[in-house]
Amino acid sequence: MTGEMILKVVLAIGQTFVFFAVGAAAVKLKYLDTRDVSRIGNFTMDVIFPFCCFASVFNGMQGADPVAVWLPPVLGFGIMAFNALIGLGLQYGLKNRSESRLKAFRQMAAINNYLFLPLIIVENLYGSSGSACLMLFSVGSAVGFWSVGIWVMSKFGLNKETFKNLITSNLVAVLLAVALVCCKVPVPDAVIKVANGVGNIGTPLMLVLTGASLTLSGAKLFREGRDAAWGVLCRLIIIPAFTVAALKMIPMPQMIYNVALIIALMPTSCASVIIVGQYGGDVDYSGQQLLLSTVLSPATITGFLYLSTLF
């Protein structure tokens, strides 16, 4: 991995922290408080993000034969499901095993930044063909995000609470987009433009709200040294190591493997703090994991990519 590529990864992460800073400024200037972040966060998750999910999946599958390109979406979902299973075992390494802490840890273990940061790396390493492949991965990743990512914060099993939590507007939007593309149902351009327009608000707004939430948590973000270190070790090293080992055992074209490898190495999802808060998880711990894993990820990403050239 070249110095230029490392710089681009660092700059991409820097963009994320700029949005965090905007949210922090909104709190410091008293434009946002805890109640505002909660209400706007819920609105973003339930109303704006479904447009984002629909547009990204629908656009990502355009021009692709759903039958011929089934592997990337399956792997995208499979990476999150596999990570979730590993997280169920690793959660016992936590010192604090309160239900809220366990929810935050399991969500962090299962769900990583599967599109924003990988897109920058993939585009620079593999060009448009790599980006197109990543878009196919994102179809399965989006399904995993809104199914596996919610399931790990619910009571395990097929009970009423789990079913209620899983049936979200976001999962419905993802499945609707997949169904429309697979069934080749024509969708008016005006509908896609609206979905793109509203959806484009989702990620920046979520990053701003995350920055606000982190600021409101304040010093509480850094009260858990041992559990913080364990979470970062799991998210950036242990879980990727198991996932990469599993990927190496699956026969697949080289480009698909390259993109899957990059996705497997990503830090915690930038939306994790808001989602964890919505489902009763430990927001402070989730915020700590987001900050630490994102800051440290350039070192672990480049390290794993270098090692992958040796084996």
* Token output for 218: 């304040």
Q: Is the pLDDT of residue 141 over 50?
A: yes
- Selection from 257, 304, 263, 281 nearest residue 106 by Cα: 281
What is the rounded distance in angstroms from the CA atom of residue 238 to the CA atom of residue 233? 6
Tell me, what's the pLDDT at 115?
78
Q: Is the pLDDT of residue 85 over 90?
A: yes
Q: Is the pLDDT of residue 106 over 70?
A: yes
Residue 217's pLDDT band, with cuts at 50, 70 and 90, is confident
Tell me, what's the pLDDT at 67?
46
3-state secondary structure of 269: coil
Burial of 161 from C-beta contacts in 10 A (0-12 / 13-18 / 19+): exposed
Report the mean per-residue pLDDT for the chain: 83
Tell me, what's the pLDDT at 210?
85
Tell me, what's the pLDDT at 158?
52
Tell me, what's the pLDDT at 4?
67
3-state secondary structure of 124: helix
Phi-psi region of 63 (alpha: psi -120 to 50; beta: other; left: phi over 0): left
> Which long-range contacts link 93-101 to residues 24+ away (Cβ below 8 Å)?
93/230, 93/234, 94/227, 94/230, 95/226, 95/227, 95/230, 96/224, 96/227, 98/282, 99/280, 100/280, 100/281, 100/282, 101/227, 101/281, 101/282, 101/285
Determine which helix (DSSP H) or strand (DSSP E) holds 76, and give its type and residue range.
helix 71-90
User: Which comes out higher in pLDDT, residue 86 or 157?
Assistant: 86
Q: Is the pTM above the cut of 0.85?
A: no
Q: Is the Cα dihedral 140, 142, 146, 152 positive or negative?
A: positive
User: Which comes out higher in pLDDT, residue 70 or 19?
Assistant: 19
What's the whole-number mean pLDDT along residues 103-113? 93
What's the whole-number mean pLDDT along residues 40-55? 85
Tell me, what's the pLDDT at 166?
62
What's the whole-number mean pLDDT along residues 184-211? 86
What's the whole-number mean pLDDT along residues 127-152? 82
Q: Is the pLDDT of residue 1 over 60?
A: no
Burial of 197 from C-beta contacts in 10 A (0-12 / 13-18 / 19+): exposed
Residue 219's pLDDT band, with cuts at 50, 70 and 90, is low
What is the rounded distance in angstroms from the CA atom of residue 301 to the CA atom of residue 1? 10
